[in-house]
Amino acid sequence: MIARVAESALLRLSSQFPVIGITGPRQSGKSTLTKAVFPNKRYVSFDDRNMRELASSNPSDFIAAFPDGAIIDEAQKVPEIFDALKLHVDNVDFTPGKFILTGSSQFRLKQNMTDSMAGRVAFLKLLPFSVREFKDADILPDNPYELIFEGQYPPLHDPDKHYIPDDWYESYIDTCLDLDVRDQINAQNLSTFRKFVQICALYSGQLLSMDSIARDVGISAPTVKKWLSILETSFIIHFLEPDTNNLGKSIVKTPKLYFVDSGLLCHLLRLDSREDLLLSRHKGNVVETFAVAELLKHRMNQGKKANLTFYRDKYGFEVDTIADWKHTFAIEIKSSNAPEARLAANTKKYLVQRGDPDAKNAVFYLGDVTMSINGTAYVAWKDWGEFLQ
């Protein structure tokens, strides 16, 4: 099994809070992680209809049946369990890490847990494998486009399984439609929703334009907003909000849209091979999507908020990503494999405008060597996500 970086954060949080909620996209490895970290805990899945009916009919007795705690998978499917869990936690001796709840619906799981157990619960988001995890397992390919095209969902990298990515992603989309979308939209709109997801792929790495998406799909802007929310809470997409930092009123106020996995993105863009990706007009946006996802994983694997934005003014001056972490990093993301000085121009200009003496700049590129040139860090793709601390 490929070791998960998030294990340390999970152990840290479970040493403090009685209940831990783990969210993330379907097939990101949530159940595998919890079973590996807590091998002695009972495991229950509410994908099992019998378990769902048993828990919903008498939630208090169901929770009481696990005096040593348990891992409850897809917990959001039985909303009645959360009030019972709160009463149980409040009425027994304080035991950190007693119940670990997982779920693929971020909104439902988090809403139920925060409503019922404020102050008693901590959350961890688990995304698909990171580059660092592939490096640690010594299975990182030499060619970045191999990983960018294939994607990083765990089942695609299981040596005991032999999925063809195109087939797996098609099944994955069908599963998401059936389990995460069907009960949130009119069933007659499912085919339109599939088209909507396909159109959204064209906008990954770009400013969100709900009017353009609405026109391309043939739906209203309010419907686009609602459906984008479904994709976001299902961890299919992520938004970067614009960075201000008091640099003036001429900034763009529209967020940028990114898919969470570059392999799924390539599938939706109908790219059939790495060669297609290399020749595609979408190559730059796919590489940028891959880089932003690595930054997200780096933060979420530590149990921290992303704190990622971007900067763009109305004149078109842009910095791809601003990471406001221990230090602020202005980051440009390039599909070039050479550390050219001109690639750092925008980040250097941004640092001058910002006037923060502790802020730094970096260029993420597809070369193999991480180096510093004239004060700018040129970060090789194998180090994305773990270089910035």
On whether both 69 and 141 belong to a single domain, the answer is no
Q: Can you tell me the mean pLDDT for 329-338?
A: 93
End of a domain among 108, 125, 142? Answer: 125
Q: What is the pLDDT of residue 89?
A: 87
Residue 182: predicted pLDDT: 81
Any domain includes 388? no
Decide if 389 is inside a domain.
no
Q: Do 209 and 358 lie in a common domain?
A: yes
The Cα–Cα gap between 221 and 215 comes to: 9
Q: How confident is the model at residue 326 (pLDDT cuts 50, 70, 90)?
A: confident
Q: Do 108 and 164 have their domain in common? A: no
| Structural domain that includes position 46 | 7-125
Within a domain: residue 347? Answer: yes
pLDDT at residue 175, as a whole number: 87
In this structure, the dihedral spanned by the alpha carbons of residues 244, 250, 251 and 253, taken in order and rounded to 10 degrees, is: 110
pLDDT of residue 108: 65
Kindly state whether residues 309 and 371 are assigned to the same domain: yes
* Residue 28's CATH number: 3.40.50.300
Q: What is the pLDDT of residues 144-159, one digit of tens each?
A: 999 999 999 999 999 9
User: 93 falls in which pLDDT band (50, 70, 90)?
Assistant: confident
pLDDT of 249 higher than 80: no
Q: Domain boundary at 82, 99, 125, which?
A: 125
| 110 and 210 fall within a common domain | no
For the segment 73-100, the average pLDDT, to the nearest whole number, is 90
Q: Is the pLDDT of residue 353 over 60?
A: yes
- Is residue 113 a part of any domain in this protein? yes
| Averaged confidence pLDDT in the chain | 91
320 with 345, same domain: the answer is: yes
Residue 345, pLDDT score: 94
**What average pLDDT does the segment 209-230 reach?**
95
Reported confidence tier of residue 389, pLDDT bands at 50, 70, 90? low
- The whole-number pLDDT of residue 105 equals 64
| Whether 167 and 75 share a structural domain | no
Q: CA 308 to CA 301: how far, in whole Å? A: 15
Average pLDDT of span 293-317: 93
Give yes or no: residues 43 and 154 share one domain.
no
Residue-wise pLDDT tens digits, 106-129: 556 666 666 666 678 899 999 999
- Give yes or no: residues 142 and 118 share one domain: no
2: in domain: no
**What φ, ψ does residue 319 adopt, rounded to 5°?**
-120, 130
Residue 319 has a pLDDT of: 95
Strand ranges across the sheet with 19-23? 42-45, 70-73, 99-103, 19-23, 121-125
Q: How confident is the model at residue 265 (pLDDT cuts 50, 70, 90)?
A: very high
Question: What confidence category does residue 245 fall into, taking pLDDT thresholds of 50, 70 and 90?
Answer: confident
Number of domains in the chain: 2
For residue 388, what pLDDT is reported? 67
Do 253 and 241 touch, CB atoms closer than 8 A?
no
112 with 184, same domain: the answer is no
Tell me if 81 is assigned to some domain: yes
Same domain, 114 and 179: no
Q: What percent of the chain has pLDDT over 90?
A: 74
pLDDT of residue 47: 87
How sure is the predictor about 218, in pLDDT bands with cuts at 50, 70 and 90?
very high
In a domain, 301, yes or no: yes
Residue 110: the pLDDT is: 65
Can you give 267-279 as a three-state secondary structure string?
HHCCCCCHHHHHH
Question: Do the domain assignments include residue 1?
Answer: no
What pLDDT score was predicted for residue 247? 72
Residues 207, 247, single domain; the answer is yes
136-141 mean pLDDT: 95
pLDDT of residue 116: 63
By C-alpha distance, which of 221, 219, 202, 201 is closest to 211? 221
Query: 125, 159, 176 — which closes off a domain?
Result: 125
- Mean pLDDT across 350-364: 91
